[in-house]
Chains A and B, each alone.
Chain A
Amino acid sequence: MKALAILLFLLAGLAPARAETLITSLSNHRVLINSNYTGTQIAVFGAIERDAQTVARATGYDVVVTVRGPRQFLTVREKERLGPVWINQEQQKFPSVPAYISVMTSRPIAEITSDQLRQRQRIGLTALVNSNDFTTGRDGADRPFRDALYRLKVQEGLYLEDERGVTFLTPDIFRAGIPLPATAPPGNYDVDVTLFADTVILARTTTDFELVKTGFEEQIGVVARDWSLFYGLATAAIAIFFGWLANVIFRRD
């Protein structure tokens, strides 16, 4: 007990001396995109502040920027052979996963910190997809579904990892570009910036931005979702109108 108290005291005493302060800023807190948009980028700037007591570090700093999009309830299904046909059989539910994840790092993530720390602190795409809150573990049966989600999302460009995504402008100032593909859904995006030195986390900040879709197609989407009866009737009316128009234009008698 006593030993623990001493240890805690020592740690508490040590912590401020080691502290670097991380200051980050986004180029934009609200990204507006319209329907004929082909994707965009948002920039994160950061500065590492050191005070007089900060110890000198032998190795340089490393930065990991993690962006998580709005959450979705996903089901991943697997087609399996049943007699002569292939049908969806096994499935795994992912109750609340980000629709978009990007991890930008200043160096390959395996070089920045250890496996255990990555898994514990959810640093890196693999660690995120394999974390316990992604889906319920089923003694390994969830494994292929996690892999499939990872693979399909990467193919869609919605999950990505860039080991050169963060660039240091000076030893203390860095920037990262977060690519947002056209398929990125609207909603709130959390940006988590973690500062490392010598495989240890020194500081962490979080900020966020909102992705808003504007334009004709998005508005139609909103109407289709929230005013579905009206939307159905309007579509029907348009269809009938075109049918009538064709009848008038191409009348043969």
Chain B
Amino acid sequence: MPVSVLLILGMGAAVGFISGLFGIGGGFLMTPLLIFLGIPPAVAVATQSAQIVASSTTSVLGALRRNALDHKLGAILVAGGFVGSALGVWFFAAARRAGQLDLVIVISYVTLFTIVGSLMLKESIREFWHRRKGGTVRLRRRAGEHAPYLGWPLRMRFYRSKLYVSVIPILALSLFIGFAGALLGIGGGFIVVPALLYIFRVPTTVVVGTSQFQIVCTTLVALILHAVTNQAVDLVLAILLIVGGVFGAQFGARMGRHLRAELFRFLLAILLLAVGLRFGLELVLQPEEPFSISVQEVRS
């Protein structure tokens, strides 16, 4: 792939910086950037999963040391995530065979990012408004406040997260994240974290560690499955991304401690919407070259 090594390293560092700043994986930024750079979407998605594995490993190890991880909740999330990942990789291969993989990836990005971005934007503006009026917004756990689906059958007690909920919605969430992660080359932290926080009311102390634990496990499976099924993992590119990302993330994390929470969420929402919009344009604008060649197999 004739792409400059320094460019990839620099991009890895920049995205790592942003991901450290916001405390998220950064896959949702890196994969689109790689695609915009001209790297085939299949390779971008599959290779980016290696970078997600590396960055989540770092945060899981940190969480383990601080004991900020709910093992039981993590295990349930991972179980759902594995199934989702396998489905995602299978779907990825099927779409690739049909010649519609690029379309699937672009449409998924547009949909996901527009929805999540707008929700976040709404949330951060509302929070900002509340704060200006002097009130403080805090998540309080009151009895009878939970959504009805949390009380579905198969309830389970999670002591660490102080939860007693049905595992069905948790499995559904992790299944979706695993699927989206494998298909789009994202970890999904930016969805899992808010979902656990707002829907399941998992305490903030364990939420990041637990979601990172799920991400590292499911992305690991996605990475190996991508290598076996789609043979789209580029080791050299992966190492460049990892090295760039690791350093960027550390500096980002240092900066991030000085950033206010609602400002941070606002910026993240803008970022998501921008990436979604960029993908949307790709879909709507007339392509310069409507034809493309794909190699089905090499005969020698």
Binding site for B on A (CB under 8 A): 70-81, 84-88, 91, 93, 96, 99, 144-145, 148-149, 151-153, 182, 185, 187-188, 217, 220, 224-225, 228-229, 231-236, 238-240, 242-247, 250, 253
The A-B contact count (CB < 8 A) is: 162
CA distance A144 to B295 in the complex (A): 18
Decide if A145 touches B291 in the complex (CB within 8 Å): yes
Is A71 touching B300 in the complex (CB atoms < 8 A)? yes
Are A148 and B227 in touch, CB under 8 angstroms? no
Interface residue from A76, A81, A188, A245 paired with B291 (Cβ < 8 Å): A76
Interface pair A250/B250, CB less than 8 Å apart: yes
- Whether B242 lies near A77 (C-beta < 8 A) is no
Q: Which of A228, A233, A246 has the most CB of B within 10 A?
A: A246
Partner-contacting stretch, out of B56-64, B184-192, B203-211, B259-267: B56-64
- Answer yes or no: B298 CB below 8 A from chain A CBs: yes
Instruction: List the 4 closest A-B pairs by CB distance, nearest first.
Output: A243-B57, A232-B227, A148-B291, A232-B224
Q: Point out the residues of chain B lying under 8 angstroms from A73, CB to CB.
A: 295-299
Closest to B247 in A: A246
B275 within 8 A of A: no
Task: With A85-B283, A240-B57 as known contacts, state yes or no: A228 contacts B227, CB within 8 Å.
Answer: yes
B224 to A233, Cβ gap below 8 A?
yes
Q: Is the CB of B202 closer than 8 A to any CB of chain A?
A: no
B interface bracket (residues with beta carbon within 8 Å of A): 35 or more
Give the nearest-CB partner of B298 in chain A: A72
CB distance B227 to A72 under 8 Å?
A: no
B168 beta carbon closer than 8 Å to chain A = no
Q: Is the CB of A236 within 8 A of B223?
A: yes
Tell me if B78 is interfacial: C-beta within 8 Å of chain A.
Answer: no
Q: Does B45 contact A (CB under 8 A)?
A: no
- Residue of B51, B99, B300 near A88 (CB, 8 A) is B99
Q: Are B54 and A243 neighbours in the complex by a CB distance under 8 Å?
A: yes
The answer to whether A88 touches B100 (Cβ under 8 A) is: yes
Alpha-carbon separation in the docked complex, A182 to B1 (Å): 10
Instruction: Give the contacting residue for B300; candidates A188, A232, A242; CB below 8 A.
Output: A188
Closest A residue to B296 using CB positions: A73
B243 pairs with A242, CB closer than 8 A: yes
CB neighbours of A74 from chain B (8 A): 293-296
Are B226 and A72 in contact (CB-based, < 8 A)? no
- Chain B's nearest CB lies how many Å from the CB of A30? 15
B239 at the A/B interface (Cβ < 8 Å)? yes
Query: When chains A and B are docked, how far (Å) is the Cα of A81 from the Cα of B65?
Result: 54
Q: Which residues of chain B are near A224, meaning CB under 8 Å?
A: 227, 231, 233, 235
Closest chain B residue, CB of each to CB of A228: B228
With A232-B228, A233-B224, A236-B53 in contact, is A76–B292 under 8 Å at CB? yes
| Interface pair B103/A88, CB less than 8 Å apart | yes
| Contact across chains for B292 and A77 when beta carbons are under 8 A apart | yes
B297 CB contacts on chain A under 8 angstroms? 72-73
Contact B299 A75 (CB under 8 A): no
